[in-house]
Amino acid sequence: MPPSLPHPETHPETHPARHPWSHPPARPSRFELPAVDRALVWLRRDLRLEDHAALHAALGSARQVWCAFVFDSSILDPLPRQDRRVEFIHTSLVELDGRLRQLGSALLVRHGDPVAEIPALARQLGVQAVHVARDYEPAAVARDAQVRGELAHAGVALHSHKDQVIFEAGEVLTANATPYSVFTPYRNAWLKRLGAAQQAGRDPLLPLAVADRLAQHLAPVPAALERGLPSLSDLDFLPTPITTRLHPGESGGTALLSDFLDRIDAYADARDFPAVKGPSYLSVHLRFGTVSVRELVRQAHRRSEAGSRGAQVWLSELIWREFYQQLLHHHPRVVTHAFRPEYERIHWEHGAKADAHFAAWCEGRTGYPIVDAGMRQLRQTGYMHNRLRMIVASFLTKDLGLDWRRGEAWFAEQLNDFDLAANNGGWQWAASTGCDAQPWFRIFNPVSQSRKFDPDGRFIRRYVPELAGLDNASLHAPWQAPEIALASAGVTLGATYPLPIVDHAVARERTLQRYAVVKSG
């Protein structure tokens, strides 16, 4: 949550034309792989054709190349039948398949267990190598190890490539070769490593050439393997009402980046106000790889070096993303446990009242307008502004006294841009249980946060329309409003809008007592 990662737009807007910025020349291939006749590129979190590490390596080492995607049934089966993320992926694949068909190939799409499907495709195509972009989540690491073993039995090599990040976990370490647990020194070391690499002529931000080799090496799909792209209904999913607003696909990511670069200089000042178009709205594209992180960091770094404060802040947010990735790699236990073990001693609220409070939080009926607006935005759109993520997380853990893992799980179900490392890191930051987290005694006041970051109530009125008639002075804490103001706005507390489910001042004192077990331990 401290990194205000860019997020997808939540209201319709036209796609601006792509910026005519000049791209740096693509770097020559860094991959020294044995030449093979046939190779398969397994797409996962890299749903694009440009500046693509695995595809770049395959095209540079194989005479014939195919691309495949597997709708993983173990991931899809537990989801509700309407899921914005599934539709985002599906729409992005439709675009990608169309581009491949224009080049005389097609996307090989399967639905099932990738541990079985990818080796089967490798055998059917007669490939000698499979190329993937590395995934750092524990479940993905375990899956890839299984696939590697199955492929090895068939005499097929699995080559994995860095593509999600600029620097992987083992590349930015302390002087003692240990992982960082505080962001600022990590960021400084990250920037120092980038500068050293660029000075040495090994710029990791240069794009990886793909386009000039696609037509030469992409192979037609054998008729026996051509199944076409399954529809959403084939996958047993229904369309959602919001996907078009997410601008799926590589073209959507390109358009959003172009739009953001027009206003990046204002990012530092605008990013904290949910009613203002401040973020880049690119996080869902980062999550599914419909944009290249190298291009984003390259743009941010170049403009930061030219003196843009907005670009400098945005670059820091992109580095926060990598900080959480390396944290998850080095400390996979954070998936289920506090990074700081002493915080496991905290006694979180449980029982019927806690469950009722959790339901009210999820549904946006806590009686605190800024909290309710943020939670309703999440339910309706799958997006939540970063400042609101911090506010609602602080409210859950430090006003309601509920375990951060409950909130993390809810976000995982709802967020279009759900990323395990960032979601876990953000929630542990808010709950003060993580590395470089806010101090446990720092407790956001939802009313003062509301007045500071939505002073005119534009955001609250959009998502809590039953309060729209209140004046700005009354909107942020309607239980303190004069009766005449409530009556004239048609607001009846406890009926048309709930009374606060907790008193913030009382909850704050309870939280200080709750966290005292950490101090006393």
348, 349, 413, 479: which one is catalytic?
348
User: DSSP string covering 75-103, please?
Assistant: HHTTS-SB-HHHHHHHHHHHHHHHHHHHT
* Distance separating alpha carbons of residues 15 and 9, to the nearest angstrom: 11
42, 66, 190, 404: which one is catalytic?
404
- Residue 418 CB coordination number (10 Å): 17
Closest CA to 105 of 65, 132, 133, 135: 65
Alpha helices in 331-442 (DSSP H): 352-363, 369-381, 386-394, 404-414, 420-430
66, 320, 361, 429: which one is catalytic?
320
Q: Which residue has the tokens 């039953």?
A: 466
42, 66, 410, 427: which one is catalytic?
427
DSSP, collapsed to helix, strand or coil, labels residue 324 as helix
DSSP, collapsed to helix, strand or coil, labels residue 161 as strand
- Angle (CA) 402-184-437 rounded to 5° is 10
Active site residue 427: yes
Residue burial 149-168, b: 16+ Cβ < 10 Å; e: rest: ebbeeeebbbbbbebbbbbe
User: DSSP string covering 132-151, please?
Assistant: EE---SHHHHHHHHHHHHHH
DSSP, collapsed to helix, strand or coil, labels residue 112 as strand
Structure tokens at 149: 């073993």
190, 386, 408, 424: which one is catalytic?
386
> For residues 355 and 410, is the Cβ–Cβ distance under 8 A?
no
Structure tokens at 431: 């709950």
295, 317, 322, 408: which one is catalytic?
317
Active site residue 320: yes
CB contact set of 423 (below 8 Å; sequence gap of 6+):
408, 411, 412, 415
Active site residue 386: yes
Return the active site residues: 317, 320, 348, 386, 404, 427
